[in-house]
Chains A and B, each alone.
Chain A
Amino acid sequence: MGLLRFITCGSVDDGKSTLIGRLLYDTRQLHADQLATLTADSKRRGSDLDLSLLVDGLLAEREQGITIDVAYRYFATENRTFIVADTPGHEQYTRNMVTGASTADAAVILLDARKGVLRQTRRHSHIVSLLGIRRVALAVNKIDLVGYDQQTFDRIAEEYREFATSIGIDEVACIPVSALEGAGVATQAEREMPWYDGPTLLGWLENVAVEDERRSDPFRMIVQWVNRPDSEFRGVSGAILGGTVRPGDTVSVFPGEHKTTVSRVVTFDGDLDEAVAGQSVTVVLADDLDVSRGSVLAAGDPPAVADAAQADLIWMGEQEMLPGRRYLAKIGATTVGLTIEQPKHRLDVDTGARLAAKTLHLNEIGLGNVHFDQPVALDPYRANRDLGGFIVIDRLSNATVGAGLVRYPLRRSTNVQWQEMSVDKDKRAELNGHRGCVVWFTGLSGAGKSTIANLVEQRLYAQGRHTFTLDGDNVRHGLNKDLGFTDADRVENVRRVGEVAGLMVQAGLIVLVSFISPFRAERNLARGIVEDGEFCEVHVDTPLELAESRDPKGLYAKARRGELPNFTGIDSPYEAPEHPEVRVDTSALSAEEAADAVLARLHELGVC
């Protein structure tokens, strides 16, 4: 008996919960006690039998009468078992629909026969198409409320078919139903709709072709866990994401592309002659290669190994996407660092139009280039959903804030070879008599960063060291004059300064950077640009009240008057470093003492 996973989507009032309730009711999935609860609950809300109450789960949404999260329901007929992802229609909750669609083989899109094809219908269809669902049923609900009128149905069906084809949905079935009355859901309504000779909704669900093509795809398996109980046995355990594998097959291990042979396909139930997409197995390889969690075994048309890709992005975080910020991406069984470029465009999911965008907000969909901090094996999403889809994780909150669907890997990154220079950093350090390094002063405006940095530079100069100071204000006059003070611009500001500082370290300089740089993630990004031991973070720690009382540039006063939006400490947060190389408390130390502390630390780090 096969399994079909499908999603339902519709607007708030289309009667979606009632439709699912109807499917459960008519396939006799309800037990006596559930029916009793349902009847009691319905009565309390003044109705005889409100099937939607079966589906609306959380208390809050039951009170509001809307569904606000993805709920999964289960039912079975003699031919199939079904997992339904019930996804909300409310505009704000695109992320839930994307979630439900990501594991679905088919979609049921619901609309109200009285209203026809709405913005919402188009939106849901765009998402369904984007997520790679090719089989869609349009349930034209509340057909009873238009008197089971054929013309109304035909008009809606024609309009929708034309639209669906234009966005790449191959198979569309339009089905007239009344979830409330039960017509057309599990049973044909021959008396009410003699003009309709297509399948019922349940009939369609029982017969729609389940994706079985994955079996003919090229072989792909992600390695989740290395199985090594003793010195005798070494297998790699994981899930087959595409194709088939048999003992004797030649496979390659990615990244690295080392070829080897499969000697056994092991399961608890015995060795297999063949394993197929969807199965979890353990494979023994003929050669002792470096295979670990995150590796990909593949055969046939190979996956790409790339550190950049163009991808459709769906943003799910409350906070907008920050281009240049360091996120994490989980793809297959690998988690790597990720940065996202400014999107090329944003998609208007109602019209399909491409709009200019600097970032993506919650529930927005766009196209952009992404960069991984190490090469990963990936396929285009169209070729393999499981090796072309990734989630975006925020490093600080650990929340899943986005999803990406790889259109194609970018090979550009492998073409731009880092030029090996014969005069390198070490040679310059020899010549200079000291190593290059970034000394990064962070702290509130008015904390005393520039004052201390100046003192440090003077003393280094006196010792014959090669130095340069990058000051926040000065850089903003030139290199970064196109940037403002939004979160996104602050990230870009810090990124550029970090890159410039990195080049200067290559040149052998001790670079003093004096920057408010309020976000931990961005300072860590700057740290990541240079090598270990080349970054000295100095937290110039001053209580806000003290910095504000100094206010050398009159900025706090302006900010308090509301003339300087996004001012750190006032209406934009400052994230203090957790483990800075140096912390100087300027309420307790003089600037000279602070400079001494920094120089002492640089000596400890072996810079000079």
Chain B
Amino acid sequence: MTATIDAPVRTAPRLDSLGRLESEAIHIMREVAGEFDRPVILFSGGKDSTLLLHLAVKAFWPAPVPFPLLHVDTGHNFAEVIDFRDRMVERYGLRLVVANVQDWIDDGRLTERPDGTRNPLQTVPLLDTITEHRFDAVFGGGRRDEERARAKERIFSLRNAFGQWEPRRQRPELWNLYNGRHRPGEHVRVFPLSNWTELDVWRYIARENIELPSIYYAHERDVYSRDGMWLTEGPWGGPRDGETVLRKTVRYRTVGDGSCTGAVESEASTLDEVIAEVGASRLTERGATRADDRLSEAAMEDRKREGYF
């Protein structure tokens, strides 16, 4: 019998759920790179946009990410998040475009709201910046599991020249064929994480060991309670009369405007602990921590029509 040397055969494992989601997101990003002239990634420093950036790095590696980042800065950001943003830009050699909501307030295009919340004010600076830079594809970290209105969102979501979402003009999306054609002035929002759930995001962050801003993990912080949320003092203001400041161990489940993003009491200081907590949680992330979603039953749908992410 002749001895033969077989090359070792490693059969690839079946693609698991996270593998399929990752491949789908990369496929979507490459379609955008192939079909659009001026794409941009919306980057808030939150976990979803950080995940987007990570997927973009993987999609185009060894080439650099071929898109800039766009941050709509409410001026109400956590310092840790801005610091994190700047480090990511540095690490991956990216170009960063910042739209400062304060500039719009200063020159009168926007007026500060009585409650001081700036989340609803992001829409105008976002749309103005998209127009100014002629961005034709705008990546967002939106997921369909976040909210009822988002469950029907397309992966390529056409926005008219006013940045608005028109439910009736949304195109059917079949197979993995995305139609990104648009008229001048229109743009397309692209949501590579559409099919991810919050738990998928956390599991993937753990699997890939993705760095996040420190406020996602449990830390001690001075907080006060308002509308059932733990808010913290910052450039957006502080406690009102009768609101007591307490020292608590908390973490944030989302990163947004400090005036309406609440912390949750948590001891989860590692990724595994966060995942265990998310898996067991009885509150969805938006419900737990975003006051602006509670305004009305159809709050999200109204904002989408206006051109919010």
Cβ-defined contact, B197 with A32, below 8 A: no
Question: Known: A225-B30, A237-B30, A278-B23. Contact between A400 and B61, CB under 8 A?
Answer: no
List B53-86 residues whose CB lies under 8 Å from chain A.
57-64
Question: Known: A266-B62, A330-B179, A389-B175. Contact between A69 and B30, CB under 8 A?
Answer: no
Interface string of A322-359 (1 = CB under 8 A from B): 00000010110100000000000000000000000000
Instruction: Report the count of interface residues on A (CB-CB < 8 A).
Output: 71
Find chain B residues with CB under 8 A from A400 CB: 171-174, 179
Find chain A residues with CB under 8 A from B301 CB: 57-59
B195 at the interface (CB under 8 A from A): yes
A266 vs B58: C-alpha distance when bound (angstroms): 11
Cβ-defined contact, B175 with A280, below 8 A: no
Which of A83, A224, A268, A275 meets B31, CB within 8 Å? A224
B282 at the interface (CB under 8 A from A): yes
Find chain B residues with CB under 8 A from A60 CB: 167
Find chain B residues with CB under 8 A from A244 CB: 12
Which of B16, B58, B288 meets A1, CB within 8 Å? B16
Instruction: Report the count of interface residues on B (CB-CB < 8 A).
Output: 62
User: A102 — nearest CB in chain B belongs to which residue?
Assistant: B174
Which of B12, B20, B34, B176 meets A293, CB within 8 Å? B34
Question: Known: A98-B172, A228-B63. Contact between A74 and B195, CB under 8 A?
Answer: yes
Cβ-defined contact, B283 with A32, below 8 A: yes
A293 vs B33: C-alpha distance when bound (angstroms): 10
Cβ-defined contact, B175 with A72, below 8 A: no
Find chain A residues with CB under 8 A from B284 CB: 31, 33-34
Cβ-defined contact, B30 with A72, below 8 A: no
Cβ-defined contact, B195 with A229, below 8 A: no
Cβ-defined contact, B144 with A72, below 8 A: yes
Cβ-defined contact, B177 with A225, below 8 A: no
A599 at the interface (CB under 8 A from B): no
Cβ-defined contact, A72 with B151, below 8 A: yes
Interface string of B204-245 (1 = CB under 8 A from A): 000000000000000000000000000000000000000000
Cβ-defined contact, A268 with B12, below 8 A: no
Cβ-defined contact, A31 with B282, below 8 A: yes
**Interface Cβ pair total, 8 Å cutoff:** 177
Q: Of A180-188, A368-376, A390-398, which stretch is located at the interface?
A: A390-398
Interface string of B169-203 (1 = CB under 8 A from A): 11111111101011100000000001101011000
Find chain B residues with CB under 8 A from A33 CB: 283-284, 287-288
B87 at the interface (CB under 8 A from A): no
B2 at the interface (CB under 8 A from A): no
Cβ-defined contact, A98 with B15, below 8 A: no
A95 at the interface (CB under 8 A from B): yes
Cβ-defined contact, A57 with B148, below 8 A: yes
Find chain A residues with CB under 8 A from B17 CB: 1-3, 81
B11 at the interface (CB under 8 A from A): yes
Cβ-defined contact, B167 with A58, below 8 A: yes
Question: Known: A102-B175, A403-B174. Contact between A276 and B15, CB under 8 A?
Answer: yes
User: B150 — nearest CB in chain A belongs to which residue?
Assistant: A57
Find chain B residues with CB under 8 A from A76 CB: 197, 199
A446 at the interface (CB under 8 A from B): no
CB distance from A143 to the nearest CB of B (A): 28
A258 at the interface (CB under 8 A from B): no
Find chain A residues with CB under 8 A from B200 CB: 81
A480 at the interface (CB under 8 A from B): no
For this complex, 25 residue pairs linking A to B, each with C-beta atoms less than 8 Å apart, are: A3-B16, A31-B287, A32-B283, A33-B288, A57-B301, A58-B152, A60-B167, A69-B152, A69-B167, A70-B152, A99-B173, A224-B34, A228-B63, A229-B62, A238-B30, A239-B27, A269-B58, A273-B12, A274-B12, A279-B12, A280-B24, A280-B26, A328-B181, A330-B179, A333-B31
Chain B residues at the A interface, C-beta cutoff of 8 Å: 9-12, 14-17, 19-24, 26-27, 30-31, 33-34, 57-64, 144-145, 148-149, 151-152, 167, 169-177, 179, 181-183, 194-195, 197, 199-200, 281-284, 287-288, 297-298, 301
Top 7 closest pairs, chain A to chain B, by CB:
A33-B287, A229-B63, A398-B181, A32-B282, A280-B26, A224-B30, A268-B58
Given A328-B181, A386-B176, 13 new contacts (CB under 8 A) = A31-B283, A57-B148, A58-B149, A71-B151, A73-B145, A83-B195, A103-B174, A225-B30, A225-B33, A237-B59, A274-B10, A276-B15, A400-B171
